[in-house]
Amino acid sequence: MKSNMILDIYGKRKLFFIIPAVIAVAALIVALIAGLEVDIEFKGGTLINYSYKGDLDTAALKTAAEGFGYGSVNVTTGSSLNSDTNNVTLSYASNEGLTADVLNEMSAKLMEQFKDNELTRLSSQDVNPTSGMKFFAKCLVAVLFSFILLVIYIAFRFKKIGGLSAGVFALIALIHDIIIVFASFIFFRLPIDANFMAVILTILGYSINNTIVTYDRIRENRTLYGKKIGLVELMNTSVTQTMTRSINTTITTAFAALAICVVAWLCGVTSIISFAFPLLIGLVAGFYSSVFMSGSMWVMWRLHRDKTATVKK
């Protein structure tokens, strides 16, 4: 590969580090000002399921439901596969839930107001936040356990290029991806729910794959060129050589996620959008961290270590 075709990833590392830092700070500010949207499974409350026909004005339904004075309401819609009847769910977040009398009165008024849609109450249930928090805790354990295994795996596989440090910086790249996904939930006011953890666990696999491909090429080029090229050129060359593969892999998966978003939006299935859209953001973040961050961090550490060793001598 000709030198003029090699991308100077390391030379622009400060820019690549600043961009996600700005996004993270902006997300923090938005979270402090506007708060977090947390799903009912983590706050507790009541779920009320209705069936309806035709085109339902969900904004009007939300306004009507909140007009009863029992707090904010999250409205999600879905479709029935075996009929032309659709489903809509109202989520009331509260510590004690809604009483049977309140539910009956509320449903009667809503069904009267939306009688053209043949709104019919199907079921209702109280949600205990304890179960949601237990689920969240188990997912965190799974994420931490995967982090440990990934660092150990990379440390052994890439011993020739300083395996432990490579594993640590791959882990930092994964944390970057989680932060960006979390930021997408904040910016687009998506509720933190089970989909959040599903997206995180999915992104970990895609992101680490791109990072391992980059490290693998660095190891191959180190064996091929030896000490003929420095660490900076080694990393820039390796990343450039794997760029096309990383782009193609990301685009293929991202298009699938985008297609799901479009279909879910057209069909009004908001519960799927809260998974597919953050997944799309996470795929882009995983590509970014693998290509523009992990290799540069590894080179910075190696140069710092070599400089420290020289000074001590």
Residues linked to residue 87 through DSSP beta bridges, in sequence order: 51, 78
pLDDT of residue 1: 43
**Residue 108: half-sphere exposure toward Cβ, Cα within 13 Å:** 6
Cα–Cα distance measured from residue 164 to residue 206, given in angstroms and rounded to the nearest whole number? 21
Residues 6+ apart with CB under 8 A from 7: 236, 239, 240, 243
**Residue 29: half-sphere exposure toward Cβ, Cα within 13 Å:** 6
Q: Report DSSP letters for 189-217, one per residue.
A: T--BSHHHHHHHHHHHHHHHHHHHHHHHH
Alpha-helical segments (H) within 226-269? 231-267
Q: For Cα atoms 242, 287, 263, give the angle at the middle one, nearest 5 degrees.
A: 125
Q: Packing angle between helix 194-225 and helix 270-292, nearest 10 degrees?
A: 20
Let me know: does 300 contact 13? Beta carbons within 8 Å: yes
pLDDT of residue 172: 93
Cα–Cα distance measured from residue 50 to residue 90, given in angstroms and rounded to the nearest whole number? 8
Each residue's pLDDT, cut to its tens digit, for the chain (313 residues) gives 444 588 999 999 999 999 999 999 999 999 999 888 887 777 788 889 999 988 888 889 989 998 988 877 888 887 765 566 788 889 887 766 788 888 899 999 999 999 888 899 998 888 877 767 787 888 888 888 888 888 898 888 888 887 788 889 999 999 999 999 999 999 998 888 888 888 998 888 888 888 899 999 999 998 898 888 899 999 999 999 999 999 998 999 999 999 999 988 887 677 788 899 999 999 999 999 999 999 999 999 988 887 776 666 5
Cα–Cα distance measured from residue 236 to residue 84, given in angstroms and rounded to the nearest whole number? 56
Question: Among residues 29, 26, 23, which one has the least CA distance to residue 293?
Answer: 23
Q: If DSSP codes are grouped into helix, strand and coil, which group holds residue 73? A: strand
Cα–Cα distance measured from residue 3 to residue 153, given in angstroms and rounded to the nearest whole number? 32
pLDDT of residue 271: 74
Cα–Cα distance measured from residue 141 to residue 137, given in angstroms and rounded to the nearest whole number? 6
Please report, for residues 156, 197, 271, 294, the alpha-carbon distance to residue 151 in angstroms, rounded to integers and kept in the order given.
Answer: 9, 21, 34, 13
Cα–Cα distance measured from residue 303 to residue 301, given in angstroms and rounded to the nearest whole number? 5
